[in-house]
Structure 1
Amino acid sequence: MFVNSGGRVTIRRQRGVMSLGSLLLIFTGTLLVAVLLAGIVTSFGYFRGYVSEQLAGHARDGATAIGLSLSNAIDGADPVASASLIDAVFDSGRYLSIRYLDLQGAPVAGRAKPLSSPGVPGWFRRLADLALPVAEAEVVRGWRRLGKVQVVSDPGRAYRDLWRISLALILGAAVIGVAGLVVLFVLIRWTLRPLAALEAQAHALGQRDFRRRVSVRSTRELNRVTEAMNQMADDLGLLFEGQAKLIQHLRRLSNEDGVTGLASRKAFDQRLKTELESEEKSAPGILMLLQLRDFAGFNQACGRAAGDQLLRQVATVIQRFLAGHSGGFAGRRTGAEFAIYLPGALPSDARVWCQALVQELDGLYADRASPRAVAVHAGIARAEPGLRARTLMAAADEALRQAQSREDSDWAFADGGQEHHHSMETWRAIIAQAIREGQVVFWLQPMLREAGGRPIYHQVFSRIRTPEGTLKAGVFVPMAERFGLVEAIDRLLVRQVLARLKAHPEQPLAVSLAGASVASEPFRRDLVAWLARAGRPVVSNLWIGLSEQTIHHHRKAVGQLLRALARLDVPVLVDHFGVGGVPFSYLRNLPFCALRIDHSFIHGIDGHEENRFYLESVIAIAHSRGVRVFASGVETAAEYAILCKLGIDGAMGYHLGRPFAADQQPTGD
């Protein structure tokens, strides 16, 4: 097990470490072989002793028979007769030597032959090394001793018998050993079957996947272990579900309107302020304020329950509208007043969208309030770079009051909605030209650890060069998404980032992908191919960021991409965490390494008790899952101090380090 650069725990087979099954097989197999070898050695010794005794007995019997013959049947004093008897016995071929000696030890008669090859391997004869005992018998005539007979049996037959016995022992032991090892292998493999499944389950638990179960049955003890592991997986799954629900509940309490599910007034204002007043995020956009006229009268006439139902229906219409506008968000302000912010939108488009939205809401309101006369009014204001959120809200509110001066449903644009910027076709030409000419560049901003030292990574922010100057992502990305050009921008950006990593492997980078890019199968395929060609040393220093909205709307594509990136050890983080209203349960099955909290939760957190409590809960639960938590948009020392107390793993923002061009070195870095 190891923790890679992305903080993800990875479990792999350790090289050079023996498995339990192999260890048991080797130990038990060695024991079996040792027992069989001991049996062979013991049996060989026994049979060797037996053959030696037979050889010695044969020599004694021969000496006794010759001695009796020389004493009784033949005159032992006659050398010729004695020699004839000895020759007859010796010619049987079972003796190595027969000698007849007188009382002084002088030979009277005898025969001998050298030890010839007994028909067994030489090494075996040397190993057996049978003793050649000399058997003796007295030769007498009456009461007079004539001499003695010495007989040595030929060991050839004994060697052959012992060789056959040894071969039979070895063959029998080999058959028994092979059969025993096969049975042992099958038995160990069957017994340890649950261990492989348990290992896979443990790995899945390490990846926060609690769905895997072990159903393999084996011995009683292992069955109890598998039952305990399955129960633990169930308990952890339930615990995670409970934690996810707690986070969702905390987020709703802190940031959602209890009736409509849209952002609360405080949360909307906080996010709007972040969008407008953050230097990196500030970009043109459109703010809409919508209000149902005489909602208090409708509430009084139809009841509170009907009023809440109407508000939920209005919220559904607004959410459906936002689904077609990437980056947009909405909230309920007071009563029946709603606010919608669309980053990157043009006034000409805003007029068309607002008119259609007012008409749809007017039809809904009229149907619910019939026969009462009702109306829906809207005010539009354009956000310019450098404009404060309070000023923009005041302009939109003034436009709303202007629209409310008319009896019927209508809308108004603050300051007449003058066009100060390019048209849509001009924007399309500018972005397409930048892509075609490779004018997409990137800037870097460090993500720093609390303890200091080298940054965890540098976040990549895209820019495009135009004749009018360099444009930030917040300005052109919403347009690129509308024109279907964001995938081409991401392609250029990823290739530039990989080239940068090859040149500067000591500086990890993080790049966030657009939802349209992730949803594109060709882009995912090409991305994985580029990363595979770059090699693990390069891609292990690349963080891939996916927004919560991308995860929610493209769950299948995200799952496929994550599995491919996990095989390459590429760390993946959740970007803009917390703003999408997405259930936290996706962390249960998707192997993310980190969360990056959105700016809107960090901005002013030193004075925002609800966001502080929510973030503290997120950090505790994420850390329990092995997921790191980063913060973005830290712009004051007070915000950073609070984040450090909460246990954040890393933070970035203008207070900690400003963005710089990738080909430049930041001051003080």
Structure 2
Amino acid sequence: MTLRRQLLIAISVIFFAVFIGLQILSVLTTKDYLQQQLASHAQDAATALSRPLEDAMAKNDQTLADIQITTLFDRGYYKKIMVLDPAGKVIISKELPANKEKVPTWMPVLFDLQTPPGEAFISSGWRQLGKVVVISHPAYAYEYLWRSMQEMALWMFVMYLIIWGLTVVLLRIILSPLEKIEEVAIAIQEKRFQRIEVLPQARELQRVVIAMNHMSDRISALLDEEIAKAETYRRDAFMDKVSGLENRHGFDLRFNHLLSEDGRFDTAVIFVLEFDGLKEFNHQYGYQQGDALLADVSTVVREVVSKYANIVGRIGGTSIAAVCIDVDEKGIGQLVDVLQYRLNQVLLRASRQVSLAAGAVVFGLAHTRTDIFSRADLAIETMRQSGTGQISVVHLEESETQIAGSHGWRILIRNALAENRWVLFAQPVMRLQLRQLVHHEVFSRLLDTQGNLVPANKFLPMALRHQLMPEIDQAVITLIIDMLLTPNPAFKHIAVNVSLQSMESQDFCDWLLARLKFSPELAGRLSVEISEFGCARDHAVTKKFVALLREAGIRFGVDHFGLDPHALNVIREIPPDYIKLDGGLIQQIASNESSHAHLRAIIKFAQSMGIPLIAQNVESEESLQLLMTDQIDCGQGFYFGVPEKIVVSKPD
């Protein structure tokens, strides 16, 4: 229950108590007043009636006395009027038999109005003729008392509404800093370190806000420091100091990772640029001038391909490579023209001794690194020999082992979706220190019409090209849910990768949220992993999708982490529940100290954020011990178990 609601309830209870007290006090005061009025009224009536009755009693005319009493009694203000003789015998008696009280039946019981009789003697000279007794009727008094109670209640209710409305407004003003404090506290809990810019007027709340801002600033500053350290180590490990681009080691790691089988792009183009005559330029003008020229060239390449580039690196002394993903033919043509023009301008200004030899190769996810670079070398040599100075673009043909044509792949995947021809494999993720199972990661494979397994790196590029990834992810997650719903499932907790294309699909997001709302018990047993590439490529889509996962109660992890230059800032902006370190980075730490220093910086940053780390590609006891020394929480790889086939059956 919120503080505002508690305060409103407390104020309502106090107001109700005050209302009850005022109502009781008002009723008792009014009751005493009415009893006095009834007694006075009865006495006045008896005194006024004694004089007319004197003549009638003196003449012993009972009829006349009855008429005089009836005249007064018929007004209805009296409950009883009696005339007694000197011996106390009732001569005349008038009593109102019917109850004329227009009040609730409980009221006369709860508030008993005493009606004392009014008495007056009837005498003629010194002779006493009798006595008249008058008792007022309490019906009108009860009606008056009931009306006064209703009016009091109505006025108090109106006042309560007014006070309640004013209280709501005032509490909103007074407690608004508390809401902001709560919002910031939740943000800090979620590893988002915000500040409260407007200080409240209340001194106590002001101190709390200042303390929270100070704490948030301190933690934020520490994280910024850790990010700066990690970036320094990353630059030492993967950046070329002369050009400011990725060095050969960093480029190879990221390019190999790009070609891995997680279906992150449809087509890509690589520009390989070589600068002939640079060595002679260095000998003639000095290495400082050569380095400055190379830096200028690198700046041009980075600026031209910045819209599409995924990797830009210096892969040799005089060679630069840039990889751009998902660029159409028109975009490739524009990149070639602008890149060639601007590079030639830089080289002409510097010296005519240095010339550009370049080639561009368009490739897909199924092509190997060897094929790509061999064709790039051929394109570069073609440009040298042609003498035209034009960058040639080469398209790698699809492998003959693939089903002929893009249309064939589309039919194969469509049929697999319609016939549910998918096979799932699960590999364990273990806690390193205790050797305890954390969860299993699921991989999907397609079955062709002959029942053969089709690797992901074969069908995923075509699935991306035909916008089929949302349907594939939906089919795989459905199989996982069916498996988790079976009695005593073999795997209790499952992690599954979701593509960027699925994250961008509103239909997929709506389906996932609805499916997990239908089976909310599954949310705590399911984790969704998004590649570092997907997170860095589209922050807005990632934020929206992660918010959906949080709403459904699903854990969220970042996969293949540690190679992107902006990776730590992404984690800072969208903190996950866990991070999976890229396998290529893990394999480098034993032999490359710079890579190991970069990894340790990531570990320290993750520990500062309270995010567990999972190392991929753990293949040996030596690698395991090294990871445990670095205080990595969990691991995944063939050392703990090979991917195991999941048998999925529909739940009853």
Answer yes or no: same fold by TM over 0.5.
Answer: yes
8 Å Cα contact 2:532/2:561 also seen in 1: yes
Equivalent residue pairs, number: 592
Change (3 A) 1:139 1:559: closer
Give 1:50 shift. Answer: 1.0
SS in 2 for 1:92: helix
- Matched residue, 1:639: 623
- Matched residue, 1:653: 637
TM-score (norm 1): 0.70
8 Å Cα contact 1:440/1:493 also seen in 2: no
- Matched residue, 1:578: 562
Give 1:544 shift. Answer: 3.6
Say which of 377, 398, 404 aligns to 1:424: 398
- Matched residue, 2:94: 112
Determine the C-alpha separation between the residues in 1 that align with 2:17 and 2:312. Answer: 77
8 Å Cα contact 1:446/1:458 also seen in 2: yes
Change (3 A) 1:58 1:275: closer
Determine the C-alpha separation between the residues in 2 that align with 1:362 and 1:59. Answer: 119
Provide the alpha-carbon RMSD of the alignment: 5.4
Determine the C-alpha separation between the residues in 2 that align with 1:132 and 1:302. Answer: 126
Runs of at least 5 residues in structure 2 that lack an aligned partner in the other structure: 262-268, 325-335, 387-395
8 Å Cα contact 1:36/1:177 also seen in 2: no
- Matched residue, 1:534: 515
Determine the C-alpha separation between the residues in 2 that align with 1:170 and 1:373. Answer: 98
Give 1:457 shift. Answer: 2.8
Give 1:463 shift. Answer: 6.3
Determine the C-alpha separation between the residues in 1 that align with 2:256 and 2:18. Answer: 82
8 Å Cα contact 2:293/2:350 also seen in 1: no
1:37 matches 2:24: no
Q: Where do 1:157-306 residues align within 5 Å?
A: 157-210=140-193, 239-264=222-247, 298-299=281-282, 301-306=284-289
Determine the C-alpha separation between the residues in 1 that align with 2:402 and 2:286. Answer: 50
Give 1:531 shift. Answer: 2.0
- Matched residue, 2:411: 436
Change (3 A) 1:436 1:253: same
Provide Cα deviations, 1:493-527, integer angstroms capped at 9, x if missing partner. Answer: 55234223323355344444556x369x5xx2343
- Matched residue, 1:349: none
SS in 2 for 1:627: coil
Percent identical: 23
Q: Specify the code of the residue in structure 2 equivalent to 1:429.
A: I
SS in 2 for 1:448: strand
8 Å Cα contact 1:48/1:130 also seen in 2: yes
Determine the C-alpha separation between the residues in 2 that align with 1:493 and 1:168. Answer: 68
8 Å Cα contact 2:83/2:130 also seen in 1: no
Deviates more, 1:434-443 or 1:34-43: 434-443
Give 1:652 shift. Answer: 0.6
Provide Cα deviations, 1:361-384, integer angstroms capped at 9, x if missing partner. Answer: 996896476354789799x9xxxx
Determine the C-alpha separation between the residues in 1 that align with 2:4 and 2:425. Answer: 54
1:19 matches 2:9: no
- Matched residue, 2:431: 449
Change (3 A) 1:566 1:302: farther
Change (3 A) 1:65 1:491: closer
Q: Specify the code of the residue in structure 2 equivalent to 1:444.
A: A
Change (3 A) 1:33 1:490: closer
Provide Cα deviations, 1:551-601, integer angstroms capped at 9, x if missing partner. Answer: 333344444444444444444332221212225222343353332111122
Deviates more, 1:60-69 or 1:169-178: 60-69
SS in 2 for 1:162: helix
Say which of 594, 611, 615 aligns to 1:627: 611
Change (3 A) 1:43 1:215: same
Say which of 529, 548, 551 aligns to 1:545: 529
1:49 matches 2:32: yes
SS in 1 for 2:151: helix
Say which of 459, 475, 494 aligns to 1:495: 475
Determine the C-alpha separation between the residues in 1 that align with 2:453 and 2:146. Answer: 96
Q: Specify the code of the residue in structure 2 equivalent to 1:550.
A: G
Deviates more, 1:186-195 or 1:287-296: 287-296
Change (3 A) 1:579 1:87: same
Q: Specify the code of the residue in structure 2 equivalent to 1:457.
A: H
SS in 1 for 2:560: strand
Provide Cα deviations, 1:95-135, integer angstroms capped at 9, x if missing partner. Answer: 41233343xx4417443313543342251344432213234
Change (3 A) 1:106 1:624: same
Q: Specify the code of the residue in structure 2 equivalent to 1:121.
A: V
Q: Specify the code of the residue in structure 1 equivalent to 2:155.
A: G
Q: Specify the code of the residue in structure 1 equivalent to 2:89.
A: P
Determine the C-alpha separation between the residues in 2 that align with 1:369 and 1:122. Answer: 107
SS in 1 for 2:114: coil
- Matched residue, 2:328: none
Q: Specify the code of the residue in structure 2 equivalent to 1:445.
A: Q
Change (3 A) 1:74 1:205: same
Give 1:425 shift. Answer: 5.7
Determine the C-alpha separation between the residues in 2 that align with 1:444 and 1:410. Answer: 52
Determine the C-alpha separation between the residues in 2 that align with 1:82 and 1:371. Answer: 149
Runs of at least 5 residues in structure 1 that lack an aligned partner in the other structure: 1-17, 279-285, 344-354, 401-405, 412-421
Q: Where do 1:121-140 residues align within 5 Å?
A: 121=103, 123=105, 124-136=107-119
Change (3 A) 1:487 1:60: closer
Q: Specify the code of the residue in structure 2 equivalent to 1:447.
A: V
Q: Specify the code of the residue in structure 2 equivalent to 1:47.
A: T
8 Å Cα contact 2:473/2:502 also seen in 1: no
